[in-house]
Structure 1
Amino acid sequence: MNRRHLLLIGCLQAAATSTALAQSDPKPAALVDAAARGDLAQVRALPERGADVEQRDANGRTAIVAATAGNHLAVVRALIARGADVNAQDHRQDSAFLLAGARGHTEIVRATLAAGADLRSTNRYGGTALIPACHYGHVDTVRLLLTTAIDVDHVNRLGWTALLEAVILGEGGAAHQEIVRMLIARKADVNLADRQGVTPLAHARQRNQDAVVRLLLAAGAH
């Protein structure tokens, strides 16, 4: 057999091996894709076929982050049961725990807390899960987070606490009033100012949030 024939046989064998692997192995981000779709059957099946539960897509998302983005609670629970890391962060610094807090996916927050969510972890703005939950007025999520040891006075990169963010980025309606009330009950520092020295009370007055102003004054704000 000459050299040409040997090379041809080698190429054919390599192609056959490549085809076999492609047929037997899931694609690199198949589990992430299935989790994003909320495809519970595939999420359960793919790890049985060798898919890494911590595999990442092009955006650095793990399957549990993708499932959280879609609010697929059953998928999140299945991935946690498989040992998925609820603190793994993607390229945007979102983890399942942090993203669930920001989106107000309270039951996913609950599941990640039970699976060891890091209360000190921070998002791309340097904020804990509590801060965006307060910003967006996710009352039930805030209520749950405040049952933990999360730092109620953590300051993010903007120089804002959860209370400041609730006032500055909230609209002063019923949801944000309840959040301010809960933060006060949790002993948030009502006089902790932003980097310009503006207090929560001053911000509330500037925004004509009269009900919030009354809550802060009753709590000793000045």
Structure 2
Amino acid sequence: MPSHSEADRTLLTAAERGDTDAVRAALAAGARVEVRDTDLRTPLLIASLGDHVEAAGVLVAAGADVNAQDSREDSAWLVTGVTGSVAMMRTLLPAGPDLTLRNRFGGVSVIPASERGHVAYVKAVLAETDIDVNHVNRLGWTALLEAVILGDGGTAHRRIVAILLAAGATPDLADGDGVTALEHADRRGFEEIAALLRGAG
């Protein structure tokens, strides 16, 4: 990896801290907007991980690549599904994120968001992009399956199941073992989620 200039190092640090003024100053001093740290993370990815929306906006305006992936196959866009930040999602949209880009589990951003119970994010990303609600990851799971299998059956995950179904999620898509979301819900005693799935079937 090429050695970093002082401006590059300053930019990486500023992105991590969310110091927007320092981000601007580092760019003005010649920092590379696509400089990578030891984990191959760009300043934009670092800012996205920290939910530093204003700093990310400056980097997007400077032409940062929203699809650049690090050593863990994360990108600035993909991690919005992990953090659940609607503000960051909307900041990154003008940069043209590749909605088919996959994380290390073979998933798109709506899948981890569904697993983690990020209701507002799931609702926003489905309403404001054409992300594939039925995308299947390497585990054989869709967003709907993850919401049931890895969720807790509580209010957030019930709402996410309803949002996914309303957005066109296919309720009878089974996992790699041939088990559907409804069967998983029944097995886990998630009666309200099971009722939603039965109504959609």
TM superposition score category, shorter chain reference: over 0.9
Cα displacement string for residues 25-83 of structure 1 (whole angstroms, at most 9, x for unaligned residues): 52543311110011111100011111100000001000011111111111011111111
Displacement of 1:215: 0.2
Counterpart code for 2:175: D
Matched with 1:173 is 154
Counterpart code for 2:134: D
TM-score, length basis structure 2: 0.95
The 5 A counterparts of 1:148-163 are 148-163=129-144
Unaligned runs of 5+ in 2: none
CA distance in 2, matches of 1:201, 1:64: 39
CA distance in 2, matches of 1:191, 1:98: 26
Structure 2 counterpart SS, 1:29: helix
CA distance in 1, matches of 2:159, 2:74: 26
Displacement of 1:114: 2.2
Cα displacement string for residues 102-152 of structure 1 (whole angstroms, at most 9, x for unaligned residues): 110111011112221111111010000010000001011101111121111
Contact 1:134–1:165 at 8 Å: present in 2 too?
A: yes
Matched with 1:34 is 14
The structure whose Rg is larger is 1
Contact 2:24–2:58 at 8 Å: present in 1 too?
A: yes
Displacement of 1:192: 0.3
Contact 2:174–2:181 at 8 Å: present in 1 too?
A: yes
CA distance in 2, matches of 1:69, 1:81: 18
Cα displacement string for residues 195-220 of structure 1 (whole angstroms, at most 9, x for unaligned residues): 10001000001111010000000111
Matched with 2:170 is 189
Matched with 1:48 is 28
Matched, 1:63 2:55: no
CA distance in 2, matches of 1:120, 1:195: 21
Alpha carbons of 1:77 and 1:28: their partners in 2 closer, same or farther (altered >3 Å)? closer
Bigger RCO (CA 8 Å, 6+ sep): 2
Contact 2:7–2:30 at 8 Å: present in 1 too?
A: no
Contact 1:101–1:132 at 8 Å: present in 2 too?
A: yes
CA distance in 2, matches of 1:89, 1:33: 18
CA distance in 2, matches of 1:198, 1:29: 49
